[in-house]
Amino acid sequence: MIGEFRTLLPLVKKYRWSYVFGVLSLIVTSGAQLLIPWLIGRAVDVLSEGSSPDFGAIRQILMLMIGTAVIVGLGRLGWRYFIHGSSRRIENDLRLQMYDHLLTLPRSYYQQVKTGDLMARATNDLNAVRMAVGMALVAFIDGLFMTLAILIILFGQNPRLALFTVTPLPVITISLIILGSRIGYLFKAVQEGFSRMSDQAQEVFSGIRVVQVFVKEHYFLKRFGDANAAYQEKNMHLVRIWGLFFPLVTFLSGVTLLMLLWFGGRALITGEISTGDFVATLSYLQMLIWPMMGAGFTVNMLQRGAASLTRINEVLSAHSDITSPADGRTTLGSGRIEFRNLSFIYPGEAEPAIRDISLEIPAGTTLGVLGRTGSGKSTMVDLIPRLLDPPAGTIFLDGTDVKEYDLDTLRSVFGVVPQTTFLFSATVAANIRFADPTADEATVRKFGEIAAMDSDVNDFPDGWNTVVGERGVTLSGGQRQRIAVARALLKNPPVLIFDDALSAVDTHTEERILTNITRERAHRTTIIVSNRVSTLQEADQIVVLEDGRVTDRGTHASLVRRSGLYREVYLLQQQEENQAPEMNHP
């Protein structure tokens, strides 16, 4: 368990003085509380002294109790401010650290770990960690200090009576050791159950349109209900174990009071102790109930915190193989790209996705890439900005291996419009402006028009300020693609990559967009991946991929004249275009 908390040592060190002041405030508070039973005992003794008690002494005791209460109040304010405040700040810092680390992890990590699980770790688990570095510390220090101090006081007053009354206490310690080892295991199972439930909810809400179209509401309701029931059952297992502790503490505290009544009553009758000492001892024994409960809280919260830190450390220990080299290059050139015998195989796969590609893309030219599904087109373009990591010495930008560039510098060269378009839950303008937050409204509209989005926006209720919904759910596929194109164009990158980015756009709109891009991107490098010949025909150079290999290359005119996949696709699409008017003819 201790090993898991090593992650927090830098953060605890950062707020060490807050913890020091908090612990001092806690000790002052606990020390002041220990005076109260003694003062009550003295008051009882004064009041029991005959028929005329010393009201001056009573007044003095009353003033001391008021002063003690003020000290307790200020002390409690102090330890709550310093200790709880530090635990909140540690939770905040750890959440930021976790979020920052997640941003560095590759796409392959997110293909293995579900979003709902990560959200659970960033909320529920971090809350458990906060309790472990906050309230658990309070319960431990307060419980330890109060227990030792009370035992010293009791044994100092009457060792024989103290020995009899505190005999049940070791049973508490043994019970805590037995229960504590079980609590951590069960709490981890509870957190994992919460993660599964959160992931199911996130998945359904993200794909609500598919769920409703296929009328699968009842199926997913049952699925969520099963996950919810499993989560409840795991919680009940934990509660059953933890629930044994409080009745045990209550029972043993009752036994200590019974021992006090039996042995303390005898001592009071025989005059061994005064009435005030008996009342003070009773108060001290009642105060011992909190340290016993505090010990249980400490074990419980530390076990929960350790279980949650295990899950958080699993995220923090994940690392990306795609990193910047030491002293990576930060200067850029013109955008010339070269492939030298590039081959790439995905981890765990038997066959390469890319095989022995050698190709040069001069700066300022347009490359078209055509191939069947699964031929390696997306893999090829993802390797250039190191979204996937290519072997050393296979891809060069301006004559320098891409692995020698600083990663941020390298990726700043590229604007990428991927196959799967992602939009943020913001306005149309905000999604386009994402590439450059400083862009003014005129610039946003300019690139929106280049992407042929202006006619659609005019029909939107709030124009460019229309909110598109989560992942652009209120838009069509073609509209989402065009906004993504406008976003990439606004970046004005040296190299622009379209990975089948116009597949959902009709041919007329596509032609308009490509014409605008050709004019806007003159003398800049552009790579267009598409299965439409019409999209590629104006490219300076076209390559054809089959099974990860370049099987043909040339211009549109040269490729359609010779047999091969490009010519087959061209003839097939020509035939489809010719048949379309006939089918629509009345």
Architecture of the domain spanning 338-413+495-584? 3-Layer(aba) Sandwich (3.40)
For the question of whether the overall pTM of this predicted structure is more than 0.85, the answer is no
Find the DSSP H helices in 134-244.
135-157, 159-165, 169-206, 208-213, 217-243
* Choice among 28-42, 280-294, 399-413, 564-578 with the minimum mean pLDDT: 280-294
* pLDDT over 80 (residue 169): no
**Residues of each domain in the chain carrying CATH 1.20.1560.10:** 2-316
Q: Predicted confidence band at 54 (pLDDT cuts at 50, 70, 90)?
A: low
What CA–CA distance (Å, rounded) separates 547 from 26?
70
515-556 confidence digits (pLDDT tens): 888 888 888 899 999 888 888 888 899 999 999 999 999 999
237-251 confidence digits (pLDDT tens): 878 777 776 777 777
> Is the CB of residue 395 less than 8 Å from the CB of residue 359?
no
The confidence score (pLDDT) of residue 2 equals 62
What CA–CA distance (Å, rounded) separates 20 from 16?
6
Higher model confidence: residue 306 or residue 244? 306
Which residue do the tokens 């796409």 mark?
107
Higher model confidence: residue 74 or residue 217? 74
Average pLDDT over residues 508-518: 86
Q: In CATH terms, is domain 2-316 a member of 1.20.90.10?
A: no
Average pLDDT over residues 43-63: 73
Compute the mean pLDDT over every residue in the chain, rounded to the nearest whole number. 84
* pLDDT over 50 (residue 584): no
The confidence score (pLDDT) of residue 51 equals 57
Higher model confidence: residue 61 or residue 99? 99
* Choice among 78-82, 196-200, 400-404, 533-537 with the minimum mean pLDDT: 196-200
Q: Predicted confidence band at 331 (pLDDT cuts at 50, 70, 90)?
A: confident
Domain 423-492, CATH number (from 3.40.50.300, 3.30.70.260, 3.40.50.10380, 3.40.640.10): 3.40.50.300
> Is the CB of residue 12 less than 8 Å from the CB of residue 133?
yes
What's the sign of the alpha-carbon dihedral 253, 76, 149, 300? Answer: positive
Q: Predicted confidence band at 340 (pLDDT cuts at 50, 70, 90)?
A: very high
The confidence score (pLDDT) of residue 583 equals 43
* pLDDT over 80 (residue 299): no
441-478 confidence digits (pLDDT tens): 899 899 888 888 888 888 888 888 888 877 777 788 88
What CA–CA distance (Å, rounded) separates 454 from 27?
68
Amino acid residing at 41: G
**Residues of each domain in the chain carrying CATH 3.40.50.300:** 338-413+495-584, 423-492
186-219 confidence digits (pLDDT tens): 777 787 788 788 888 877 877 776 777 777 788 8
